[in-house]
Amino acid sequence: MPRFATSLLCLLLLAASASDACRYNVRDTAFVDSGEPAYKLEVVLPASAGKDAKAFVAALRELVADWNVVVVTAADERPDASGALLLLTAPDGRQLELGEFPAEGNSAKGVLSQLRDEKLADQLRRNLITNHSVVLLVESEDDAENARLGGLVDEAIEKVMQGSALWPKAIDGPPLKVVLPADSVPAHKTLLWSLNLSGVEEVSSAPQVVVLYGRGRSLGKPLSVEQVADGRLEQLLGVVSLDCECEYDFAPLQGPSIIHSWNEQSEQLAAKHLGFDPGHPLVTSEVRYILSRRADASEQPAADPVVGYREIALPTLPSHEPENGSAPSAPAETHAPNETHAIDADPPPTSPPQNNLLITAGVASLVAMAAGLVLLLLRRRG
């Protein structure tokens, strides 16, 4: 009997140890509110502003309540100012002037169209929930370079998917290429500015790509054709699927997020595809703790972390095998931003949302009970 009890205790201890492993990958952490600073929308009001101006500011705050934007006010020192001047400030300090608007409550919705790129931002958010990541390709006036960059992106996605069986955690869809045609670039000025892409005022002379993951956060800096040809895109995509507690420090690669809304519907859809609720307070605390612990333990980053990228030994147990045993699927088709990628009305079943802390606590309780049982059996034998 003691031998059996001891074996049982060992098995439970092993289970408890396994439960301590991180159940999140780098992609998962970008769906959790990590306390990233919000964009600041500054409303500069004229000295003559009255009740209408207050209604204007109140309407703005209500409209952006579930956005990563905060509204602040300031006094306009221009003597001839009649309307509200709007300035958008990114978390890194960059500023974009949105223009002057009548300081009236009913004009707040007009600001909305300037502030948030609704159609493209919504499409990106849906794609990011169902896919590994999005590679946003911003075309230029050079058709040959556009085609070359598109082909290089497809190759990088294909190479990344060849190793998907070794990912620590399965991800529903592959990296998705989304193409922004050159003639539509000026219409998406604010979104492109938020990602620190060059040439947002007009069509650029060279195409660029930027990797987005999670709620719309960029990973690394925008890449040129030559940088993608050198393998940098493949390296960045490889980071997205890494275990969040792996030895590779991805913090220096975390870039700005697009201006976006994130509401209860977004949260529920993300939970279905991630297998956990990214908005749960315990999940938020756990992920913030993991990220802060990594920040404390990390060494000084290199000047360019992508160049200094090194391969990490991943677990050999495949986390996701294709149903028919075939090779990983080819990259998704290229879609222009004016197309929609429909999300299935009934998503594939996933495990119900659960929290690693709760699992660990449950296993610890079982271990304590087993230890008590072992002691009781040993006393009786004695």
Domain ranges of the chain: 26-30+118-359, 39-115
- Confidence tier at 200 by pLDDT (50, 70, 90): low
Q: Which of 37, 29, 32 is nearest to 92 (CA)?
A: 37
**Which of 19-23, 55-59, 268-272, 292-296 has the lowest average pLDDT?**
19-23
pLDDT tens-digit series, residues 101-130: 887 666 777 787 778 787 888 899 999 999
Q: Span 13-21, mean pLDDT? A: 43
Check pLDDT > 60 for residue 265.
yes
- Confidence tier at 51 by pLDDT (50, 70, 90): confident
Contact 271, 277 (CB under 8 A): yes
pLDDT (0 to 100) of residue 371? 60
The CB-side HSE value for 62 (13 A sphere, CA atoms) comes to 10
CA distances from 301 to 215, 250, 344, 368 (A): 25, 9, 41, 42
Query: How distant is the alpha carbon of residue 33 from its chain centre?
Result: 10
Check pLDDT > 90 for residue 286.
no
pTM (global) more than 0.85: no
Non-local (6+) Cβ contacts of 271 within 8 A are 277, 278, 279, 353
Rg of the Cα atoms in the chain: 25
Q: What phi, psi does 204 have (nearest 5°)?
A: -80, 160
| Of 33 and 77, the one with more pLDDT | 33
- Greatest mean pLDDT range, 43-57, 107-121, 226-240, 338-352: 226-240
For the record, the structure tokens of 172 come out as 């529903």
pLDDT (0 to 100) of residue 198? 67
Contact 294, 251 (CB under 8 A): yes
Q: Alpha-carbon distance 6 to 370, whole Å?
A: 9
pLDDT tens-digit series, residues 162-171: 999 999 888 9
Check pLDDT > 90 for residue 136.
yes
Amino acid symbol at 121? A
- Confidence tier at 318 by pLDDT (50, 70, 90): very low
pLDDT (0 to 100) of residue 93? 92
Rounded (5°) CA angle 63-65-69: 95
Q: Which residues of 249-262 are buried (b: 16+ CB within 10 A; e: fewer)?
A: bbebbbbbbbbbbb
For the record, the structure tokens of 102 come out as 């009548």
Q: Alpha-carbon distance 276 to 286, whole Å?
A: 12
CATH code at 39-115: 3.30.360
